[in-house]
Every structure is written in C-alpha cells, then in structure tokens.
C-alpha cells in the first residue's frame, strides 16, 4: 500500500515552511504520495501586516492549500512542522487540531504514523516541550509516534534531538540540517509503510 503523507506546517517567518519542503522532498523520494499543506493563519490581518517578514511569509505560502479534515482522513501518515511559542505549538496549530474532534471520535486519526518537527529563536527555546506536547495530543488520537530517535548519524550532527528535528530560527539549512530532516521524514514513511502493509 502506498504511504499517503499529509505534511501540515505553520510558519511565521519561513523557517518551518523550508523544513516542510525539505521533508516533503525526502518523503516523495522515499515513495510516499505527499500533500504539503499550510495551517491557516488566524492572527488578525493588521497584526500580520505590522511585521514585514510575517507578511512576506503569508504571501509566500498563499498558493499552498490550507490543511483540512479531508487531508487528515486521506492520509495514513502525518508530519506536523510548527514553531515554538512559549514552549508550545502556536495558537494557529492548536486551532486546527481543535477542528479534528469529529475525525478523532470516529477513530479516523488512529493507527497512523505521525511525527513532528519544530523551531525556536534560540537553541533552548522550548523545542522539546513543543514536540512532546504535540505527541501528547497524538497519543490521544491513537496515532503511532515515529520519532527519529538516535537512529542515524545525522541526528547527532544536527544537534542531537531524538524527539523530532528542531531548528534555530535564522540559522542556515546546511547539509547536516537537511540530512536530519530528510532522515526523520524517510523513517516516518518507512514505518508508515509497515503499518499499512
């Protein structure tokens, strides 16, 4: 069975958008059918417009469809890519998750492979708390968490986060960072394929 992966990302300034695109390319190369989807912006337009970088990212992602319940039902694997806000996923991500109660109630989010990646302004800005907080939600769904663990040298080279790749905002995406993101996405596809077999 083909792995059908929905990658749902929210990105304020572009970091998580880049991560999602790197992951999408790796997952596609690993044989998955990928839907790259943005999580809708819920901040007031005047707030977004007050920051040039935020406004630019909204415009950059405008051509990507917003993730929907249909994308979640269609998929047999998920990757969430989100910034860290005060040690948690931002309100935009939580707002989308809060729309999925119907699918959860029907068991349509259960038994699917899932993973998460994040970023923050500094190396100790709450990334692990964000990822683990998302995993708590995913456990409620009955999803199967596929963290990267220490399963590849790229995890060590890119900072050593076994829960899910985390990026420091403003840092370039070099070979080590791309390799860690790609490994996590590929591992997710491989595990999803086993679950779907």
Task: Specify the CATH number for the domain of residue 86.
Answer: 3.40.50.360
Q: Looking at residue 197, what is its pLDDT?
A: 87
Enter the tokens of residue 92. Answer: 């935009």
The string of DSSP codes covering 173-184 is --HHHHHHHHHH
Q: Total structural domains in the chain?
A: 1
Q: How far is CA 94 from CA 111, 133, 152, 173, in A?
A: 21, 11, 31, 27
Query: Tens of pLDDT along the chain (197 residues)?
Result: 699 999 999 999 999 999 999 999 999 999 999 999 999 999 999 999 999 999 999 999 999 999 999 999 999 999 999 999 999 999 999 999 999 999 999 999 999 999 999 999 888 889 999 999 999 999 999 999 999 999 999 999 988 899 999 999 889 999 999 999 999 999 999 999 999 98
Beta partners for residue 123, in sequence order: none
Sign of the Cα pseudo-torsion (24, 52, 66, 132, in order):
positive
Cβ contacts of 12 within 8 Å, gap of 6 or more: 53, 54, 57, 83, 90
Give the residue from 143, 64, 137 showing the smallest Cα distance to 99: 137
Residue 123 confidence (pLDDT): 83
């Amino acid at each position: 069975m083909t792995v059908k992966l929905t990658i749902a990302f929210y990105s304020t300034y572009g970091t998580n958008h880049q991560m999602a695109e790197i992951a999408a390319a790796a997952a596609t190369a690993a044989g998955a059918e990928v839907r790259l989807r943005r999580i809708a912006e819920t901040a007031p337009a005047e707030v977004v417009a007050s920051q040039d970088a935020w406004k630019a990212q909204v415009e950059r992602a405008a051509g990507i469809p917003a993730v929907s319940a249909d994308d979640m039902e269609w998929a047999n694997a998920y990757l969430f890519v989100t910034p860290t806000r005060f040690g948690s996923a931002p309100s935009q991500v939580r707002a989308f998750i809060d729309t999925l109660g119907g699918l959860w109630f029907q068991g349509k989010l259960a038994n699917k492979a899932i993973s998460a990646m994040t970023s923050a302004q500094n190396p100790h800005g709450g990334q692990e708390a964000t990822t683990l907080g998302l995993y708590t939600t995913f456990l409620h769904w009955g999803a199967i968490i596929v963290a990267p663990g220490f399963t590849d040298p790229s995890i060590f080279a890119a900072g050593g986060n076994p829960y899910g790749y985390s990026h420091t905002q403003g840092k370039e995406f070099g070979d080590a960072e791309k390799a860690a993101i790609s490994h996590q996405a590929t591992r997710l596809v491989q595990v999803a394929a086993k679950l779907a077999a």
